[in-house]
Amino acid sequence: FLTPVQIPSKTKLSTRGGDDDFGDVSLWRIEKVDKVFGDNADDDDVVPSYPNPLSQKARIPSSWFVDEDDAVAAKVNVDVHQTCIIDEEAAAPAFMLAGPRMEIAFDPEVSRAAIVTCGGLCPGLNTVVREVVMCLRRQYGVENVYGVPEGYRGFQSPEDWRPLDETVVANFHNLGGSVLGSSRGGYDTKAIVDSLAAQNINMLFVIGGDGTLRGAAKIAEEVKKRGLQISVAVIPKTIDNDIPLVDRTFGFETAVEAARDAINVANVEAEGFPLGLGVVKVMGRNSGFIAMHAALGSRVVDLCLVPEVDFYLDGPGGIVDHLAARLLENNKAVVVVAEGAGQDLIAAEQEEEGEQVTDLSGNVMLEDIGRWLADKLKTRLGDKLQNQTKHGDSVSIKYIDPSYMVRGVPPNTADNVYCTHLAHNAVHGAFAGLTSFVVGSVNTRECFVPTRVLVNKRNVIDTEHQSLWEYVVFDTGQPCFQTESDDVDRRKDITISASGGVVLELE
């Protein structure tokens, strides 16, 4: 006998929690666009408006346009028994749904757009550039679109800006790296805004990660302070997938696939020799998403180490015992380690506390955990397993570091498609007159998230609730290294992204 179980049918659902987790979720809109960006505007409009050329030229149906009130709830897990009465005062956090608007704020004929890629490389960067250009030119008819070379520092040499059109970008989606070039460091708010103003730019499309986002937030502040009418849109990029709230960042899936290939090779090597141990290090400074997803995807991993989980080598419950058992059982084992994992263990070994070395953007340069781990395991497991096999074999360790191999490749199909959505929605958002926003998929719906909501937060693997990490622990059989924590929110009160991440507030 089966009993149907359903949520109370007449319950009106509201998401829980108010907006306290995200702060002010309102977006900035450019209030008045003057003649620099079009003289056909109706002066009485608070937000000047022009008909969207999509409705005129392409004659797309009105149902393709998004209404001002369409929103995406930030939290979709609810407790139906506690939320059936909507409290008018407690507005649920929600973000504006992305997509084209019937009326737009800038005159496309006189609009001028700039595109820049910043930070580490990532599969899909060129697709985003391509699609921003395509949408601006084909759908809105913007003539003047420029590629700013080599990241933020490129604003200081406008003579090097590259005019971009359909022909130039046609094959970009098949290329890895960044055709425009990228860089770390070289950021200067004043110089960037001076340059945007001097070049009469009214739309800036910034493609980058967490550092880039912080820079873009400052640019938008400065633009606002100076009373300029420039929309600043961010398309979040990083193979690390460490941007909070959004379901995933573009390029991440491609990187995971490439990492999985490396893991499979490590497994082949491990299987090829008695007591074979493959150690694979993948990127992921503060978040271990690549390691987690690639480990899960491959199903051959015995131990997955990520920055979010502290671990130890020796003693009961340590990784040496776990791997020794696996080697004796299967004659092979595979370890995947994210570059940011175990940094505390390496630091603890160093005699003096050295000064932290940073890159030009201020990111801490990490110690090579992969090499360190492979060396430690060689001696530890060698001692432990001595004389335990028929031929007295020693552990055969192969260390594989595919770091740059996973991000220098062209995007896979799923990422190419995702890049297309993001790029087009960034253009639609800019034409809506919005500024200081990040375009991203939240709970599978693309929306405009205010940049300030995302700065100083990070997406990290959720190890405190049932999420993808649980599967890693069970699939690998590795020690959990977690202890019971009393003050963990129940799952319905938090936002868990599709990739198994949770928002971490930074200090």
Ligand X SMILES: Nc1ncnc2c1ncn2[C@@H]1O[C@H](COP(=O)(O)OP(=O)(O)O)[C@@H](O)[C@H]1O
The nearer residue to ligand FBP, 181 or 284, going by C-beta atoms, is: 284
Angle CA(206)–CA(212)–CA(217) in degrees, nearest 5?
80
Interaction mask 2-31, ligand X, x per CB under 6 A? ------------------------------
Of positions 93, 100, 209, 440, contacts Mg ion by CB under 5 A: 209
Q: How far is the CB of 354 from Mg ion (least distance, A)?
A: 22
**Residue 205 binds what, of ligand X, Mg ion, ligand FBP, none (CB under 5 to 8 Å, by partner type)?**
none
- At residue 296, what are phi and psi to the nearest 5 degrees? -65, -40
Q: What is the 3-state secondary structure (H, E, C) of 326-342?
A: HHHHHCEEEEEEECCCC
- At residue 491, what are phi and psi to the nearest 5 degrees? -55, -35
Residues 264, 221: contact at Cβ < 8 Å?
no
Q: Which residues bind ligand FBP (CB under 6 A)?
A: 119-120, 209-210, 238-240, 283-285, 339, 359, 407
Q: How far is the CB of 120 from ligand FBP (least distance, A)?
A: 3
Integer Cα distance of 438 and 452 in angstroms: 9
| Sign, Cα dihedral of 130, 218, 25, 107 | negative
Interaction mask 125-164, ligand X, x per CB under 6 A? --------------------------xx------------
Integer Cα distance of 44 and 171 in angstroms: 44
Of positions 361, 420, 425, 467, contacts ligand X by CB under 6 A: 361
Residue matched to tokens 């708010």: 189
The nearer residue to ligand FBP, 284 or 440, going by C-beta atoms, is: 284
Interaction mask 227-266, ligand X, x per CB under 6 A? -----------x----------------------------
Choose the binding region for ligand X from 130-138, 178-186, 283-291, 331-339 (rule: CB under 6 A): 178-186
- Measuring CA to CA, which residue among 198, 113, 197, 104 is closest to residue 148? 113
Task: Give the residue ranges of DSSP H helices in 187-312.
Answer: 189-198, 210-225, 252-272, 289-298
The nearer residue to ligand X, 48 or 151, going by C-beta atoms, is: 151
Residues 146, 161: contact at Cβ < 8 Å?
yes
Of positions 100, 209, 450, 500, contacts ligand X by CB under 6 A: 209
Q: Can residue 195 be called a binding residue for ligand X (CB under 6 A)?
A: no
The nearer residue to Mg ion, 210 or 269, going by C-beta atoms, is: 210
Q: How far is the CB of 452 from ligand X (least distance, A)?
A: 13
Which residues have a catalytic role annotated? 240
Residue number with the smallest Cβ distance to ligand X: 119
Choose the binding region for ligand X from 32-40, 102-110, 127-135, 181-189 (rule: CB under 6 A): 181-189
**Residue 428 binds what, of ligand FBP, Mg ion, ligand X, none (CB under 5 to 8 Å, by partner type)?**
none
Q: Is residue 38 classed as helix, strand or coil in its secondary structure?
A: coil
Specify whether the backbone of 186 is left (phi greater than 0), alpha (psi in -120 to 50) or beta.
left
Q: How far is the CB of 222 from ligand FBP (least distance, A)?
A: 23
Integer Cα distance of 241 and 139 in angstroms: 30
CB atoms within 10 A of CB 166: 12
Largest CA distance in the chain: 89
Q: How far is the CB of 12 from ligand FBP (least distance, A)?
A: 41
**Residue 187 binds what, of ligand FBP, ligand X, Mg ion, none (CB under 5 to 8 Å, by partner type)?**
ligand X
Q: How far is the CB of 216 from Mg ion (least distance, A)?
A: 13
The nearer residue to Mg ion, 290 or 327, going by C-beta atoms, is: 290
Integer Cα distance of 326 and 381 in angstroms: 11
**Residue 113 binds what, of ligand FBP, Mg ion, ligand X, none (CB under 5 to 8 Å, by partner type)?**
none
**Residue 497 binds what, of Mg ion, ligand FBP, ligand X, none (CB under 5 to 8 Å, by partner type)?**
none
Instruction: Please name the residues in contact with 186: beta carbons below 8 A apart, sequence gap of 6 or more.
Output: 150, 151, 152, 153, 360
Q: Write the burial class of residue 499 (CB in 10 Å: 0-12 exposed, 13-18 middle, 19+ buried).
A: buried
Please work out the total of residues on this chain that contact ligand X, with binding judged by CB under 6 A: 22
Of positions 38, 48, 120, 278, contacts ligand X by CB under 6 A: 120
Strands (E), 273-362: 276-282, 303-305, 332-338
Q: Can residue 210 be called a binding residue for Mg ion (CB under 5 A)?
A: yes
Choose the binding region for ligand X from 71-79, 177-185, 195-203, 415-423 (rule: CB under 6 A): 177-185
Q: What is the DSSP letter of 81?
A: T
Q: Can residue 208 be called a binding residue for ligand X (CB under 6 A)?
A: yes
Q: What is the DSSP letter of 364?
A: B
Integer Cα distance of 478 and 488 in angstroms: 23
State how beta strands 332-338 and 303-305 pair.
parallel
Of positions 187, 205, 418, 437, contacts ligand X by CB under 6 A: 187
Integer Cα distance of 314 and 239 in angstroms: 32
Residues 364, 357: contact at Cβ < 8 Å?
yes
Of positions 173, 218, 332, 376, contacts ligand X by CB under 6 A: 218
CB atoms within 10 A of CB 167: 7
Of positions 21, 107, 210, 308, contacts ligand X by CB under 6 A: 210
Choose the binding region for ligand X from 3-11, 134-142, 205-213, 475-483 (rule: CB under 6 A): 205-213
Where do contacts with ligand X occur on this chain (CB under 6 A)?
Answer: 118-120, 151-152, 183-187, 208-212, 214-215, 218, 238, 361-363
Where do contacts with Mg ion occur on this chain (CB under 5 A)?
Answer: 209-211
